[in-house]
Amino acid sequence: DAGVTQSPTHLIKTRGQQVTLRCSPISGHKSVSWYQQVLGQGPQFIFQYYEKEERGRGNFPDRFSARQFPNYSSELNVNALLLGDSALYLCASSQGTASNQPQHFGDGTRLSIL
């Protein structure tokens, strides 16, 4: 069975641009969460979606948005990119919400802002 898949694997953008990252959860998983991992740090929680509704949001500006589709895949959008947005963006899926089911991670999208 396929694990969590993310696309693209790498992306280079310039300041001020917009980016869309994609995630397909493990088959049967209804929850998708997004995390930002800056080099040398642990992942920081951005969003959780469960059954197509936002269930939680971390301490990130409104430039960050996400959505979940009927097939449970998800997109993370970041507008007006800043140099500080350079990071590894990780998607995780679980059968239920993070509080009652362990999360499984994809390999991430490495975003570089020039």
Partner 1 sequence: GEDVEQSLFLSVREGDSSVINCTYTDSSSTYLYWYKQEPGAGLQLLTYIFSNMDMKQDQRLTVLLNKKDKHLSLRIADTQTGDSAIYFCAETTGGFKTIFGAGTRLFVKA
Give residues in contact with partner 1 (CB under 8 A).
4, 6, 33, 35, 40-45, 48, 50, 55-56, 58, 90, 92, 97-100, 102-108
Nearest distance in Å: CB 100, partner 1: 7
Nearer to partner 1, 18 or 109 (CB): 109
Nearest distance in Å: CB 16, partner 1: 28
Nearer to partner 1, 46 or 78 (CB): 46
Nearer to partner 1, 6 or 24 (CB): 6
Residues linked to residue 56 through DSSP beta bridges, in sequence order: 48
Which residues neighbour 13 within 8 Å (Cβ) at sequence distance 6 or greater? 19, 81, 111, 112, 113, 114
Nearest distance in Å: CB 45, partner 1: 5
Which amino acid is it at 53?
A: E
Nearer to partner 1, 81 or 90 (CB): 90
Rounded to whole angstroms, the Cα distance separating 43 from 51 reads: 23
Rounded to whole angstroms, the Cα distance separating 25 from 61 reads: 25
Asked whether 103 and 33 are in contact (CB, 8 A), the reply is yes
